[in-house]
Amino acid sequence: MSKKDSGDKKYYRVLNILNRLNEGPVRVADLSAEFSVSERSIQRDIERINLTGFHLDTPQKGTYTFAPGVSLTSFNLTGEQLSVLVLMREMAGGMGGAIKDAFDQVFARATSAAAGDSPFYSVGPRALNPLTRKFYEDITFAIERRKKLSVRYAGADGTVKDRVLCPVKILASENFFYMMASADGREPDRFAKYRVDRIKRLDILPEEFTPPPPETIKKVIGAATTIWGVNEGKKIKIKLRARGAAADFLRSKELLPGQKVSRPAADGAVTVAAVIHHPMEVVPLVLHWMPEITILEPENLKAEVAVRLKAYQDAQRTETGA
């Protein structure tokens, strides 16, 4: 294994262990079995975390937990940034002297600043498990090594199936990770998306596959702005009308693939044209901003939104007994 592979695996182990510690105690033996590494490797990861300044307790042999009052939410950094600091601390410690002292000062400053000290503040949904990368490491390894995967996958309807897949990309959308892969032996240039948190079991197989040309993958992903747009299916031309805050929002951010926004009319309203692959690329946007956003065309997209609104109203009546 190259130094890069070893470094990547170490990075994702530290990232995952930080997340587990944030949830509660971790056992070295359990982590060793999960990551298929020696207990000594896990022990070194935990030592790295402890030496960085996270302060761990050992309630019993082989078990570690954050010391009272320590949690990831108390740090003004993302999980990825914290895991990088852990590995940087190891490098700085090896250099010793002024380098180590300088790192310790940087860590203290970076982790002690309150979020309110920054002129920026992120308002939006927070992932319940922001550091979880279940199977991420093995999928990345398989993509880089062109290895097939044996996967047990639970579909949206709850059906569980065993599949052999050829992974080509990892996609991220709205705090979910997706594996883009083709089915082994069937249409190698046609891809499906598999939500990583729905994978129940994953094994790297010794067999290799020939990856598709980069331009093929690029074509599938295209100009997608949501996970629904990663699709080679039919193209749907749409036109929306937005006013008020919805118009300002659409003028400031590309939310639809290749969207074209007209000049504001006298009342500030704009017309937005785009080409999508799946209705769900635009339906959530319309539902979120209505009544300040309406669909001009096509008619079947108007019907899709109407069906969802009626289903919601019916569900509400059922819940309330009205």
Three-state secondary structure along the chain?
CCHHHHHHHHHHHHHHHHHHHHHCCEEHHHHHHHHCCCHHHHHHHHHHHHHHHHCEEEEECCEEEECCCCCHHHCCCCHHHHHHHHHHHHHHHHHCHHHHHHHHHHHHHHHHCCHHHCCCCCCCCCCCCCCCCCCHHHHHHHHHHCEEEEEEEECCCCCEEEEEEEEEEEEEECCEEEEEEEECCCCCCCCEEEEHHHEEEEEEEEEECCCCCHHHHHHHHCCCCCHHHCCCCCCEEEEEEECHHHHHHHHHCCCCCCCEECCCCCCCCEEEEEEECCHHHCHHHHHHHCCCEEEEECHHHHHHHHHHHHHHHHHHHHHHCC
Residues near 61 by beta carbon (within 8 Å), at least 6 away in sequence: none
Domain 3-116: give its CATH architecture.
Answer: Orthogonal Bundle (1.10)
Look at the domain 236-320 and name its fold: Alpha-Beta Plaits (3.30.70)
Helix axes 39-49, 3-23, angle to 10 degrees: 70
Residue 7: its pLDDT value, please?
52
Tell me whether domains 136-220 and 236-320 share a fold: no
What are 70's strand-pairing partners?
Answer: none
> pTM above 0.75?
no
Domain coordinates in residue numbering, the chain: 3-116, 136-220, 236-320
Q: What is the CATH number of domain 136-220?
A: 2.30.30
One pLDDT digit (tens) per residue for the chain, 322 residues: 444 445 567 777 887 888 788 778 899 998 888 888 888 889 888 888 877 777 788 888 889 988 877 766 666 566 666 666 776 666 666 566 676 666 666 666 655 544 444 444 444 454 444 334 557 778 888 888 899 999 999 988 889 999 999 999 888 776 678 899 999 877 777 888 998 888 989 999 999 999 888 888 888 887 777 888 887 677 899 999 999 999 998 888 778 888 899 999 999 999 999 999 889 889 999 999 999 999 999 999 999 999 999 999 999 888 877 6
